[in-house]
Amino acid sequence: MTIITLTTDFGDKDGYIGMLKGVIYAINPAALLVDITHQLEPQNILQGAFMLHTTHRHFPPGTIHVAVVDPGVGTSRRAICLEVPEVGYFVGPDNGLFSYILEAYPNIIARELINRAYHRQLISKTFHGRDIFAPVGAFLGRGEPFEEVGPQLELSGLVRLENLWPDWEQKTNGKRLIKGKIIHIDNFGNLISNIHRRLFAELSSAELERLKIGIPLQITATGIKDTYGNEKKDTLIALFGSSDFLELARVNGRADSRYGEKFAKIGEKFHVRLES
């Protein structure tokens, strides 16, 4: 039995998810389907890339990850599959959705999905998730050889998002700055950035307490806390979440809202400032 995960921006209002699952089961009735999420912000490739990065590590080797955030569906963008030894497969559009995966693993093999034998007979120009990606995932889960899905691609030619891993910048006035961005807003309203814990490993406790963290000209927290429950209700805090990315949270509230209205969005600036 092969695990096939599904990550999309389809939502749950329409029948799109059901179609994906129906296509997979028609090809591979023994597949075990796992929904990662279908609530990604529509067309938000950056958020989809983050979701794949943080979730795929929790699945056993050989898992097939079908991901569909595809604003370029039907255009010249390529349909691809990545084979990652000892990890599994990633099936979806070549639009940056697999950027973190490509950064994480040096021994990837990529193929373009052009073998029509592994697609549905009729292919819609607006639904490659159903007609190409889901069938390929199902056939791979059934044991069909990866080499047959299409020709091998050069990894250097695959689309990658820019500035995945921001770093410290040294300013002439003695300040140090990290210019990151919001990469995900979770169900609790926590603002998760693309700034990783490792950037703070060499800072002293005193320096960590002096950090100014937030969205420029919007909200700012001081210092990095250990967890949500150690602070008073409604306090805005910065902390490292369970995937080691820096986030802003409001204790027992929502950091993405102010005065009852949401103001933060994915892709917005998220800065860390350290003054000497």
pLDDT of residue 74: 94
If asked whether residues 64 and 174 sit together in one domain, one would say no
If asked whether residues 93 and 198 sit together in one domain, one would say no
pLDDT of residue 190: 96
* Positions of the chain with pLDDT under 50: none
If asked whether residues 150 and 25 sit together in one domain, one would say yes
pLDDT of residue 275: 76
Tell me the residue range of the domain where 181 lies.
168-274
Cα 268 to Cα 181, 192, 227, distances in angstroms: 5, 11, 24
Contact 65, 38 (CB under 8 A): no
pLDDT of residue 172: 66
For residue 269, the domain's CATH number is 2.40.30.90
If asked whether residues 19 and 109 sit together in one domain, one would say yes
Which string of DSSP letters, residue by residue, matches 148-181?
Answer: GSS-EE-GGGS---S-SS--EEE-TTS-EEEEEE
Of 92, 126, 157, the residue at which a domain comes to its end is 157
**117 lies in a domain?**
yes
If asked whether residues 23 and 133 sit together in one domain, one would say yes
For residue 21, the domain's CATH number is 3.40.50.10790
Pairing mode of beta strands 88-93, 176-185: unpaired
Contact 164, 100 (CB under 8 A): yes
pLDDT of residue 36: 98
As for how many domains the chain has, the answer is 2
**163 lies in a domain?**
no
pLDDT of residue 246: 97
pLDDT of residue 171: 72
**207 lies in a domain?**
yes
